[in-house]
Amino acid sequence: KKNCSNLFFDTSYVSHSSKKNLQNKKGIVIQKFAKIMPNVKIGDGVKINVSCQIHHGSSIGKFTTLAPSSVILGNVSIGKYSYIGANSTIKQNIKIGDNCIIGAGSVVIRNVKNNEVVAGSPAKLLRKNKK
């Protein structure tokens, strides 16, 4: 909706350049102890749970959820409508497609195509997600 504001908890950290990127966005929730480093782009309706980290130059597509304590390293691109499981780590320069699910505790070291479900350490394809 037009009047859906963003919610940033006081104990979260969002760098100055990332705050600038969020000025015209709506419905973003950044929970306690989350850290968002410089030049991160976040789409509308994204939920960043407790203790998540998103490092420099990454982008998160609209309506994506990052579960607690997930770590997104530098220059990662995550598509829209995806879910990143708790305690997952996505290595730098990885591309995650739209409508993907990353299982809890996974370590993603390869790109993930649209509609894929991956899990494990290193993460492996489990199945294709229904569209």
Q: How far is the C-alpha of 78 from the C-alpha of 60, rounded, in Å?
A: 5
Q: What angle do CA 103, 43, 18 make, to 5 degrees?
A: 105
Set 26, 56, 91, 95: catalytic member: 56
Q: Is 55 a catalytic residue?
A: no
Q: How far is the C-alpha of 10 from the C-alpha of 7, rounded, in Å?
A: 10
The set of residues, in sequence order, having a beta carbon less than 8 Å from that of 79 and lying 6+ positions away, is 61, 64, 96, 97, 98, 99, 100, 114
Tally of helices (H runs) and strands (E runs) in the chain: 1, 18
Q: What are phi and psi of 18, to 5 degrees?
A: -70, -35
Point out the residues that are catalytic.
56
